[in-house]
Amino acid sequence: MAKEIIVIIGGPGTGKTTIIDGLMQKGYCCYPEISREVTMEAKKQGIEQLFLEKPLLFSELLLEGRKKQYQNALNEPHDFVFLDRGIPDVLAYMHYIGDSYPSFFDAACKEHLYSKIFILPPWEEIYISDDERYENYEQAKLIFEHLTETYVNYGYELIEVPKASVSERIDFILQSLH
């Protein structure tokens, strides 16, 4: 069986990290979202909100990190590797803020292909803002639209995960793999 690299996407506050954590507890190989790591590293260097202050630099760091995650996932001994966000997410966010980006961003999306994409729809009841998540719910819905459009433009069929309990969402994802 070929290795499957599966991406879980969605706007901010839709439950991606909770699902990834749940899959990890079940013993699945998962790679966490790296944007918080990039943001924390920038804060150590005195840049309070890297995404807001230097969006292209932030996006380049994310792109590099996600490419590295993809390469590492290919080398995992597991049949399934789950990623919290994929490379096209970087472009979707650049579209969302209206920034342009170099052509190597597009090339990275075409060179790193994923097996399946699960998308979590905006869900106001579970949406919470925090220090690294500065978008409001309306912005989260716009980001969802940009994510959908970007992944579809790269030829992906998106599998929408229903709004349900964490265990039901995880079961839905696992059942969709077979």
Domain range summary for the chain, segments of one domain joined by +: 4-176
Q: How far is Cα 153 from Cα 150, in angstroms, rounded to an integer?
A: 5
> 98 near 139, Cβ under 8 Å?
no
Tell me what pLDDT residue 133 has. 55
Tell me what pLDDT residue 140 has. 85
Q: Which of 97-106, 119-128, 133-142 has the highest mean pLDDT?
A: 97-106
pLDDT over 80 at 43, yes or no = yes
pLDDT over 80 at 60, yes or no = yes
Tell me what pLDDT residue 12 has. 84
Pairing type for strands 29-31 and 80-84 reads parallel
Collect all residues with Cβ–Cβ distance below 8 Å to 90 and sequence separation of at least 6. 59, 62, 63, 66, 101, 105
Q: How far is Cα 120 from Cα 158, in angstroms, rounded to an integer?
A: 10
Tell me what pLDDT residue 39 has. 83
What average pLDDT does this structure show over 34-38?
84
pLDDT over 60 at 97, yes or no = yes
Question: Which pLDDT band holds residue 129 (cuts at 50, 70, 90)?
Answer: low
pLDDT over 60 at 153, yes or no = yes
Question: Which pLDDT band holds residue 120 (cuts at 50, 70, 90)?
Answer: very high
Tell me what pLDDT residue 48 has. 80
Of 102, 67, 82, 94, nearest to 150 (Cα)?
A: 94
Tell which CATH classification among 3.40.50.300, 3.40.50.2300, 3.40.630.30, 3.20.20.80 matches the domain 4-176.
Answer: 3.40.50.300
Tell me what pLDDT residue 173 has. 98
Tell me what pLDDT residue 47 has. 80
Phi first, then psi: what are they for 4, rounded to 5°? -110, 125
pLDDT over 70 at 10, yes or no = yes
Tell me what pLDDT residue 19 has. 96
What average pLDDT does this structure show over 66-90?
96
Task: Give the H/E segment covering residue 109.
Answer: helix 103-111
Residues counted in the chain: 178
What percentage of the chain carries pLDDT values higher than 90? 65
